[in-house]
Amino acid sequence: MIKIYNTLTRKKETFKPLHAGEVRMYVCGPTVYDSSHLGHARSIVAFDVIRRYLEYKGYDVRFIQNFTDIDDKMIQRAQEQKTTTEKLATKYIQEYFEDFDKLGVKRATGFPKATEHIQEMIEHIQKLVEKSFAYEANGSVYFRVSKFKNYGKLSRQEKGEKEAEDQDAGEVEEKEHPQDFVLWKAMKPGEPSWDSPWGKGRPGWHIECSVMSKQYLGEPIDIHGGGLDLVFPHHENEIAQSEALSGQPFVRYWMHNGFLTVNKEKMSKSLGNFFTIQEITAKYHPEVVRLFLISSQYRSPIDFSDAQLEEAKTRLARIHNSIDLLQRHLRETRVEEAKNPVKPSTVDSELWEALSTLQTEFENAMDDDFNTPIALASLNTFLTKMNSILSRNDSVTAGTLQKILEILDAIGEVFGLYRQRMKPESSDEGVTDGLVQLLIQLRNQARKQKDFETADRIRDQLKDLGIVLEDEKTGTVWKWA
């Protein structure tokens, strides 16, 4: 039974999707005017793991993530770069996919763009005007917040007078009340625009999520996610726009991830303290970045530091080493069992018990609002146990080892970790293996004759090729560095 912390109620609630066996979720995607940074990755990876766990539990997940491809920043950046908003969007959407494919993020079911849903947005706004939840002023349309009685229920705050000063002066004059927010912006000279009943213009930021969420997932949806910074005003406004028309809840579970910080300050474009995904993945393997990101529960802040990334690297290596050890034992055991069938022993049952504990603890942790640190801890505990048994070289059946591999694979699939380690060897690797085995034989001959110079030369030169030799009690094994 999954429990989710719902921002709306500020409580963990038992998760029950509206449609049995199916989860409909929407996560706010980026405005595609610039490269994604690690702060975006925090959010995207958090919801990727949530989605993967829901799938692990057998749900059919319909997952929609939008691209905001028209807004003030898009227009401004396009003007600066003497290009169009379309070209800008195309460029950064492509980059988005490159970045997050690399980070092992599963693609959403759909990636709707704001500019492809202008007509639906206009219709939605029209209906709001008809019901007097919105009003037109000088070609712009504003949402009449005072008419929507539940305004503020998500963020538990209402816009005060304070920020009226910070708002666009033209808008303030047009608005009936400073709280009101824009649904449709009248065109300014030189800006991209679409025809509407109120003249040429473009949609406000908030309306796209309301409209696209409804179009692709219906109402209400199960989960709507995004960064904590979107709670107000973005999500508050989405609720107002959607529920004013439908008269029913727009979203059943609101989920918000905590920030990625640098020296305890939020990583953001405006502070300039950010690293792009490209920069970070050039320095660290994408799975190291993922492990770093899921080492805290998704609602907690994570403070970025190189030391933390280095630690994640070490921790991932430990997992890799354990899987290598397991796979080697499995290969060897299969060869053995082909000669002499083996019966399960007490060591087998010890492993089965540890495996069952792992599964229970992993699922309990993830069921509890996707507590990845505890889930990772359960994996660690299991690996220590498994390594301990395997290092004693007690005989374990191939069936047991195979089962462990399957469970580890399923868990790794949720985290999006050690995927490469699980892949069967390619035929190329078969050839490599043959060659390396030959060198290992030669080297061990040298070692037997105490010719360590030759032995070390073989090991060192293989290392330069990215092949690491390790001498075990039972013989020498190799792996890619």
Partner RNA sequence: GCCGAGGUGGCGGAGUGGCCACGCGACAGCCUGCAGAGCUGUUUUAUAUGGGUUCAAAUCCCAUCCUCGGCUCCA
Nearer to RNA, 428 or 464 (CB): 464
Residues of this chain, 185-224, that bind RNA according to CB under 7 A: 205
DSSP assignments along 124-175, one per residue: HHHHHHHTTSEEEETTEEEE-GGG-TTTTTTTS----SGGGGGS-HHHHHH-
Nearer to RNA, 75 or 128 (CB): 75
Contact between 92 and 29 (Cβ < 8 Å): no
Report in angstroms how near the CB of residue 166 gets to RNA at its nearest.
Answer: 4
Contact between 216 and 208 (Cβ < 8 Å): no
Burial tier of 450 (Cβ tally within 10 Å: 0-12, 13-18, 19+): exposed
Residue from 315, 328, 403, 419 binding RNA (CB under 7 A): 315
Residues of this chain, 230-249, that bind RNA according to CB under 7 A: 230-234
Nearer to RNA, 183 or 302 (CB): 302
Report in angstroms how near the CB of residue 371 gets to RNA at its nearest.
Answer: 5
The answer to the question of residue 138 lying near RNA (CB under 7 A) is no
How many chain residues bind RNA (CB under 7 A)? 87
Report in angstroms how near the CB of residue 468 gets to RNA at its nearest.
Answer: 7
Nearest-angstrom CA–CA distance, 218 and 262:
38
287-311 in b/e burial notation, b at 16+ Cβ within 10 A? bbbbbbbbbbbbbeebebeeeebee
Report in angstroms how near the CB of residue 246 gets to RNA at its nearest.
Answer: 23
Residue from 98, 311, 337, 413 binding RNA (CB under 7 A): 311
Tokens encoding 360: 């229970």
Q: How many CA atoms lie within 13 A of 300 on its CB side?
A: 13
The answer to the question of residue 412 lying near RNA (CB under 7 A) is no
Burial tier of 82 (Cβ tally within 10 Å: 0-12, 13-18, 19+): exposed
Report in angstroms how near the CB of residue 168 gets to RNA at its nearest.
Answer: 8
Q: What are phi and psi of 33, to 5 degrees?
A: -115, -5
Nearer to RNA, 132 or 314 (CB): 314
Residues of this chain, 327-366, that bind RNA according to CB under 7 A: none
Residue from 9, 81, 349, 384 binding RNA (CB under 7 A): 384
Residues of this chain, 87-106, that bind RNA according to CB under 7 A: none
Report in angstroms how near the CB of residue 174 gets to RNA at its nearest.
Answer: 15
Q: What sections of 186-285 are H helices per DSSP?
A: 207-217, 236-246, 277-283
Q: How many CA atoms lie within 13 A of 49 on its CB side?
A: 30
The answer to the question of residue 59 lying near RNA (CB under 7 A) is no
Nearer to RNA, 301 or 399 (CB): 301
Residue from 381, 405, 419, 439 binding RNA (CB under 7 A): 381
Alpha-carbon 364 to chain mean position: 20
Residues of this chain, 433-472, that bind RNA according to CB under 7 A: 447, 452, 455-456, 459, 468-472
Nearer to RNA, 238 or 348 (CB): 238
* C-alpha distance from residue 303 to each of 38, 291, 316 (Å): 11, 14, 19
Nearest-angstrom CA–CA distance, 96 and 109:
16
Site string for RNA, 256-275 (x = CB under 7 A): -xxxxx--xxxxxxx-----
Alpha-carbon 36 to chain mean position: 13
Report in angstroms how near the CB of residue 363 gets to RNA at its nearest.
Answer: 15
The answer to the question of residue 111 lying near RNA (CB under 7 A) is no
The answer to the question of residue 387 lying near RNA (CB under 7 A) is yes
Site string for RNA, 34-53 (x = CB under 7 A): -----xx-xx----------
Residues of this chain, 13-32, that bind RNA according to CB under 7 A: 28-31
Contact between 167 and 180 (Cβ < 8 Å): no
Contact between 2 and 14 (Cβ < 8 Å): yes
Using CB under 7 A, which of the segments 119-127, 131-139, 152-160, 245-253 binds RNA? Answer: 152-160
